[in-house]
A and B are shown apart, each in its own frame.
Chain A
C-alpha cells in the first residue's frame, strides 16, 4: 500500500552570494539536502531541529510551495503536479498549511467567517448558504463560538486566531496538514489548548500532520514518529517516545539534554551534554558529517565521509559513523 505522503531524496539548493558586494562569487546553500519522509494516514511526523536546519523548507517542498531542486513528492501514490497548474491547485485542497503567526496568515480587513469560507469558494462550487453552514460547523469543531463569525482577527486572542486558521484549513477536509511552529507564538496556558485540539481533530477526522517545531516537548506530545534535522539532512528518525528516551545520534542527545524541564521530584536525572560553538553557516557546510565540528566523538572518518541513515534494532534510523560503539554511552 502506498503511503499518504512519500518524499524521496528531496533537495533544495539556493545560489547565494558568498561574500560582500554585488559581484561576489556565488555559492550554493543546501537548505534541504537529501530528505526522505513517509507519512501514513492519520499519523503525525514531527520534524525538529534548530533554526536554519531546513525544517520549514522541507514543509514547503511537501506542499510544492517551493519547487525541489531534485527529488520527488508523492501524495497517495501520485506525484505532485507542477506548481500553478490546475491539477496542483486541485491537490492543494487535500494538503493545507498552518503557520506560526496566525495574525500574519489572516486578512485583518475581513471578518473571520468570510475567511473561513474562502477555501470553499476556491475549491468547490457550493451555495452561499451551504458555505456559511459548513463554516459554522468548522468553527464549532475548533471550539469557536457561532457569534464570532462576524468578528475581525484583531478582536480575537492569539489562541482564538490560531483556531480560525485551523478551521479554515479544515474546510476542504484535507488529508494532510503541514503545521509550521503552530503554537510557538502562543502563551503557555494556551499552547495546551491548541495541542489538545490538534490531537482531537486527528482522532475525529483522521488527518495526518507534518508537525514542524523547535519545541521537543510539544513534538513528543503530538507525534507518532520524529525526524531530527541538522543542516539540511535527517540525522535521526524513529518512534517519538523511544527517540526522546534514548536518543542515539550525538546531536539528538545534545538537543534532548538542552531542553530545560521541570523535574517534579527535584534533582536532574538526564545526561548533561553541552555542545560547544554555534551551528556552522549553511553556505559552508563542513565536509563529511556536518555535525563533526561540534561533536565530541568525531574521528577522521567523520571529517571525510558523510554518514547515511542506517537502521538500528527497533526501527530507529541514525546517520552516524560511531553509533554502534558502546563507549559513546559516556559523554565526553
Chain B
C-alpha cells in the first residue's frame, strides 16, 4: 500500500469535563491514501464531523484534542497556527452543508474567489481573475463572467455549493473534506453536485473525505467507508464489502433500517432505543444498550478493533459471521 496522505492515530476530542463519558471522539484511527475517496457515515453526535474539524484545528479552544493527525508525516495536532494556516485550504480544503452561510453575503462571488486565490496561490490582478473564471467554469457554472459580480443571495443553493467547491479548489488541495455537501440540496441538484465532485477527482487526482448520514450517497461515491457511532469508529471496509457483508451489528442495523427503492416492500428493521447523549456514554461498547446480541462483557469492556477481512475492520466482541445479520435473529425483533 502507498504511504497515506493523511494518517489519524488515536484522535480523541473532549468537550468540557474531559471525563471518559463526555468524549465527542474517542481514539479514532483512520488513513486516507492519495487520491482515495473515503466515506464517513454516522448519525448526529457520532463525531464524524468533529473528527475532521479537530484534525484541521477548527474546534473552539475549550475542546481538548489529543492523539495524532499526520499529513504526509507533518503533525497537525498542536501544530503552530502558522503551520496550520499553510495546510488549511491549501493542502486540505473543507466544504460544509449550508453553502450560503459559508459565503460572505456582502461581498461579490468574484471578490471572495480572488481572496482565496491570493491567500493560497499568491495570485493577483488579471491572473487571479482569469483563474477565478477558470474555476467557476470547472465547477460547471454557466456564464461565469457575469456570476463573478453576483452576490451569494442571487444564486440558488446548488450554485452556491458550486461556488464553495470552486473556492475549495482554489488552493489546489490534495484532500477535500466534504461535510454533508448535499444535505441541504434538492435531489436532482444533489445528483449534479456529486457528479461534479466525481469529475473533479477524475481530473485532478484529489482525495476526498465524504461525510454523510446518507448511506446511499456514500455507497455511490466512495471507495472505502468508515462507520462511526457515538464518537467511536465501529467498522471500516471497502464499499462493496461494507454494504455487502457488514460485520458490526450497528452497520447491519443501519442497512436493515433503510427502505429500498426497488424490489418488494418489506417491513423495516428499526434499531430500538436512541443514540446515547454525551455525558451518559455506556462504559463498554457504546452500542451495547441497543444491540440485539450484546453479552455481559459488552456492557463493561470496550471492544477492540479486529481485522475481519481484507482491509475490513470491525470493533465488536461478538465476532459476527460473514453473511449473517444479527437483526434477522429472533431476538432482534423490535
Point out residues on A near B: beta carbons under 8 Å.
Answer: 50-51, 157, 159-160, 187-193, 195-196, 199, 214, 216-218, 220-221, 241, 244-245, 254-266, 268, 270, 274-276, 278-279
Of all chain A residues, the one with the shortest Cβ separation from B186 is A50
A244–B262 CB distance below 8 A: yes
> CA separation between A245 and B267, bound complex, in Å?
19
Choose one: A189, A191, A217, A274; the contact of B195 (CB below 8 Å).
Answer: A274
Expressed in whole angstroms, the minimum distance between the Cβ of B325 and any Cβ of chain A is 11
* Residue from the set A189, A195, A278 with the largest chain B CB neighbour count within 10 Å: A189
**Pairs A–B under 8 Å by Cβ, sample size 8:** A50-B186, A51-B186, A192-B256, A221-B265, A264-B244, A266-B240, A266-B244, A275-B188
- Contact A260 B188, CB 8 Å, known A159-B274, A189-B257, A218-B259: no
Expressed in whole angstroms, the minimum distance between the Cβ of A326 and any Cβ of chain B is 22
Q: Interface-forming stretch among B69-77, B210-218, B307-315?
A: B210-218
> CA separation between A193 and B268, bound complex, in Å?
8
Choose one: A157, A189, A195; the contact of B253 (CB below 8 Å).
Answer: A189
Of all chain A residues, the one with the shortest Cβ separation from B158 is A278
Expressed in whole angstroms, the minimum distance between the Cβ of B43 and any Cβ of chain A is 4
B258–A195 CB distance below 8 A: no
Choose one: B43, B188, B194, B260; the contact of A188 (CB below 8 Å).
Answer: B43
Chain B interface size, as a band, is 35 or more
Which residues of the partner chain B approach A265 to less than 8 Å between Cβ atoms? 244
B219–A275 CB distance below 8 A: no
- Contact A259 B186, CB 8 Å, known A193-B270, A217-B258, A244-B261: no
Choose one: B192, B217, B256, B261; the contact of A275 (CB below 8 Å).
Answer: B192
Point out residues on B near A: beta carbons under 8 Å.
Answer: 43-44, 156, 158-159, 186-192, 194-195, 213-217, 219-221, 240, 243-244, 253-262, 265, 267-272, 274-275, 334
Which residues of the partner chain A approach B195 to less than 8 Å between Cβ atoms? 274
Which residues of the partner chain B approach A279 to less than 8 Å between Cβ atoms? 186, 188
> CA separation between A190 and B334, bound complex, in Å?
12
- Contact A260 B257, CB 8 Å, known A189-B270, A196-B268, A221-B265: no
Choose one: A245, A258, A262, A275; the contact of B243 (CB below 8 Å).
Answer: A262
> CA separation between A221 and B268, bound complex, in Å?
9
Expressed in whole angstroms, the minimum distance between the Cβ of A305 and any Cβ of chain B is 24
Expressed in whole angstroms, the minimum distance between the Cβ of B32 and any Cβ of chain A is 21
Choose one: B186, B216, B220, B254; the contact of A189 (CB below 8 Å).
Answer: B254
> CA separation between A270 and B220, bound complex, in Å?
12
Expressed in whole angstroms, the minimum distance between the Cβ of B332 and any Cβ of chain A is 13
Which residues of the partner chain B approach A196 to less than 8 Å between Cβ atoms? 267-268, 270, 334
A195–B215 CB distance below 8 A: no
A192–B257 CB distance below 8 A: yes
B156–A261 CB distance below 8 A: no
Which residues of the partner chain B approach A254 to less than 8 Å between Cβ atoms? 188
Expressed in whole angstroms, the minimum distance between the Cβ of B311 and any Cβ of chain A is 16
Expressed in whole angstroms, the minimum distance between the Cβ of B239 and any Cβ of chain A is 8
A259–B265 CB distance below 8 A: no
A192–B271 CB distance below 8 A: yes
A258–B216 CB distance below 8 A: no
> CA separation between A263 and B261, bound complex, in Å?
10
A195–B213 CB distance below 8 A: no
Expressed in whole angstroms, the minimum distance between the Cβ of A288 and any Cβ of chain B is 20
> CA separation between A276 and B188, bound complex, in Å?
9
A263–B257 CB distance below 8 A: no
Choose one: B213, B220, B262, B269; the contact of A187 (CB below 8 Å).
Answer: B213
Which residues of the partner chain A approach B192 to less than 8 Å between Cβ atoms? 274-276
> CA separation between A62 and B262, bound complex, in Å?
30
A259–B261 CB distance below 8 A: yes
Of all chain A residues, the one with the shortest Cβ separation from B245 is A264
Supplied contacts A195-B259, A270-B261, A279-B186, 6 more A-B pairs, CB within 8 Å: A189-B257, A220-B265, A245-B262, A256-B261, A266-B240, A274-B192
Of all chain A residues, the one with the shortest Cβ separation from B255 is A262
- Contact A261 B220, CB 8 Å, known A51-B186, A188-B258, A189-B257: yes
Which residues of the partner chain A approach B262 to less than 8 Å between Cβ atoms? 244-245, 261, 270
A268–B259 CB distance below 8 A: no
Which residues of the partner chain A approach B260 to less than 8 Å between Cβ atoms? 217, 220, 261
Which residues of the partner chain A approach B214 to less than 8 Å between Cβ atoms? 188, 260
- Contact A278 B220, CB 8 Å, known A217-B259, A262-B258: no
Choose one: B158, B186, B243, B271; the contact of A263 (CB below 8 Å).
Answer: B243
Which residues of the partner chain B approach A255 to less than 8 Å between Cβ atoms? 187-188
Which residues of the partner chain B approach A216 to less than 8 Å between Cβ atoms? 187, 261
> CA separation between A195 and B258, bound complex, in Å?
11
Of all chain A residues, the one with the shortest Cβ separation from B214 is A260
Closest 7 CB pairs of A and B: A260-B216, A192-B257, A258-B191, A50-B186, A192-B270, A221-B259, A192-B268
> CA separation between A304 and B334, bound complex, in Å?
54
Of all chain A residues, the one with the shortest Cβ separation from B250 is A189
